[in-house]
Amino acid sequence: MIDFIQMIVSGIAVGSSYALMGLAMVIIYKTSEVPNFAQGEMALISSFFAMMLLTSFHLSVYLAFFFTLVFAVLLGCFLEFAILRRAKEPNVLGMIVITIGIEMILLGFVSWKFGAEQKTMPFPIGPYDSLIIRDIFISKLEVLTLVAALLLMIVLFLFFKFTKLGLAMKATQQNRVAAQIVGIRTNRILMITWGISSLVGAVAGLLISPTIMHPYMMWDPMLKGFAAAVMGGMTSLPGAVVAAYLLGIIENLFGGYVSIEFKTVVAFVIIVLVLCIRPSGLFARHYVKKV
Amino acid sequence: MTALLEVKNIETYYDLVYAIRGASFAVEEGSITAILGNNGAGKSTILKTIMALIKDQPEKGVIEFDGVPIQNRDTDEIVRKGIAYVPEGREIFEELTVHEHLLMGAYLRKDTPGVKQDIEKVFAYFPVLKQRTHQWAGTLSGGEQQMLAIGRALMLRPRLMILDEPSLGLSPILVKEIFAIIREINLTGTTILLVEQNANMALSISGTGLILENGRFVMKGNSTDLLEDKDVKEFYLGIKSETSAKGYQRWKRKKAWR
């Protein structure tokens, strides 16, 4: 029984970083219908930026993280403004290839600038500090990830629900033309979307970096986040979050009871199943356009 | 009377299609102007060109609003000048509520109390919408969605309101209702430019009528005159009856105007 609960708790903890990556992907997908494969590497470069501030410039942790988040927002805005917006006659396939290109460039840049070996992030909480509550282990980092993820989700929820900008973003997501004719600058909205998404990804990157820190650190979380986003229907923020936690838990249970070797494969088996059985995702609720 | 909107000799390409071939017209301040024409004549394209919804168009020509050229600008800039657009097929936000729609309609406005007032005004025009305040727009009926699209345009407090086929897909009673409201909106001082297939309805409320054919205007006149015009009548019926030498009833298609 303890094993079972332990697995679920670790699953939830792992799920938090998937949830953040999933959210980041969904935020962009909703506005532009482009699955952003550069998401992981945008988070990667933000994490390395934080490391650089901490080790080379000796900034305090809070300051460094603050600047990192600012950097992440600017990076997202810049990529949208400088690259994606310039695409002539954009179609979804072309945009996807562009994001893959951005991914390669960022990955190459990080490997070249910082080297491909494992780094240590001078994070205030080490990866092995843990709490034991009634025989259940949970690392402090995991708790922090969970709290940060939940906080960010609440903030995003409030933002989309109650601010005019959030409403304008939702409007742009749902109908670009209609948004233009009420006077929304849809280009700018798209840029802000990339900024916010990059920020969410960077938070995930920062929280992953104490455990693993090398140019490929974001591969796994990014793919799992993508899996969660697909499971959640690609356009639903809560859907992606719930799917991410579900994925984390299922993965851990599978690893514990069936086969540890195939643990990471589970996510992709689930994607295939979901796409076969409910292609619109587990949690999507959508209206078909009336003519 | 002065022209609020003046379109001078615009030419628009829709991808490779030469859609508008040098069209000019003016909309007088405070009037209702109707553009008529059959499918593919280019009516909607003219409106989209005015609203800058077709990229990099018009290719040639000048569009002046209140004496200032507005062609080749971004859509939001044009909206900012006080032109509201009710697109063909409504173009609503499926998963925003009616209330949120009206807020978005007032996106460019900063005066919160005025916006609140105007929401009430829209509900006064369209009482059905009030019952649906917190319902997603995607769940509304076609007629309600059309009302919502008009309401959303009203929230801008526009000087000029452009409507693209407000009667599309509506029942005859609803069409009557919508047109009555369009006239009411006009009486409060909003200039209206209207594109319609329903020629009878459009000419009955408008002051000036224009007929578009293959990207060119072929006729212009007072709406009352156009309503009586033999060619217009025949053209919009599409067919004309005649009696043959042997006394059989024959139906003939009217040829296009060229």
Is B159 touching A (CB cutoff 8 A)?
no
What is the distance, to the nearest Å, from the Cα of residue B227 to the centroid of all Cα atoms in its chain? 19
- pLDDT at position B100, please? 87
| B88 within some domain | yes
- pLDDT at position A287, please? 47
Domain count, chain B: 1
Is B104 touching A (CB cutoff 8 A)?
yes
A167/B85 Cβ within 8 A: no
CATH number for the domain including B216? 3.40.50.300
What is the residue type of B40?
Answer: G
Contact criterion met (CB below 8 Å) for A196 and A27: yes
pLDDT band at A199 (very low <50, low <70, confident <90, very high): very high
- Measure the CA–CA gap between A213 and B175, rounded to whole angstroms: 65
The mean pLDDT of chain B is 81
Which of A65-79, B56-70, B136-150 has the largest mean confidence?
Answer: A65-79
- pLDDT at position B242, please? 65
**pLDDT(B1) > 60:** no
Model confidence pLDDT, tens digit, residues B188-219:
888 899 888 877 788 888 888 888 878 788 77
pLDDT band at A183 (very low <50, low <70, confident <90, very high): confident
Share of chain A above pLDDT 70, in %: 96
| B258 within some domain | no
Measure B246 CA to nearest chain A CA, in Å. Answer: 47
Question: β-pairing, A130-133 with B83-86?
Answer: unpaired
Model confidence pLDDT, tens digit, residues A217-243:
888 888 888 888 888 877 778 888 888
What is the residue type of B164?
Answer: D
Can you name the residues that pair with B17 across neighbouring β-strands?
B14
Model confidence pLDDT, tens digit, residues B211-255:
887 878 877 877 777 777 777 766 665 556 667 777 776 666 555
pLDDT band at A94 (very low <50, low <70, confident <90, very high): confident
C-alpha Rg value of chain B to the nearest Å? 19
Q: What is the mean pLDDT of residues A25-38?
A: 85
Interface of A with B (CB under 8 A): 164, 167-168, 170-171, 174-175, 177-185, 286-287, 289-291
DSSP chain B: --EEEEEEEEEEEETTEEEEEEEEEEEETT-EEEEE--TTSSHHHHHHHHTT-STT--SEEEEEETTEE-TTS-HHHHHHTTEEEE-TT----TTSBHHHHHHHHTTT---HHHHHHHHHHHHHH-HHHHHTTTSBGGGS-HHHHHHHHHHHHHTT--SEEEEE-TTTT--HHHHHHHHHHHHHHHHTT-EEEEEES-HHHHHHH-SEEEEEETTEEEEEEEHHHHHH-HHHHHHHH-EEEEE-TTS-EEEEEPPPP-
pLDDT band at A291 (very low <50, low <70, confident <90, very high): very low
Q: What is the mean pLDDT of residues A273-286?
A: 71
pLDDT band at B60 (very low <50, low <70, confident <90, very high): confident
Give the other-Cβ count within 10 Å of A48's Cβ. 24
- pLDDT at position A71, please? 92
| Domain span at B142 | 3-253
**pLDDT(B29) > 80:** yes
Which domains are delineated in chain A? Answer: 2-277 (1.10.3470)
Which of A38-42, A91-95, A141-145, A281-285 has the largest mean confidence?
Answer: A38-42
| B168 within some domain | yes
- pLDDT at position A70, please? 92
Question: Of the candidates B74, B84, B95, which has its C-beta nearest A287's C-beta?
Answer: B95
Residues of A in contact with B136 (CB under 8 A): 287
B107/A168 Cβ within 8 A: yes
Instruction: Spell out the residues 6+ positions from residue B142 whose beta carbon is closer than 8 angstroms to its own.
Output: A290, B90, B169, B170
- Measure the CA–CA gap between B35 and B164, rounded to whole angstroms: 10
Question: Of the candidates B76, B93, B138, which has its C-beta nearest A178's C-beta?
Answer: B93
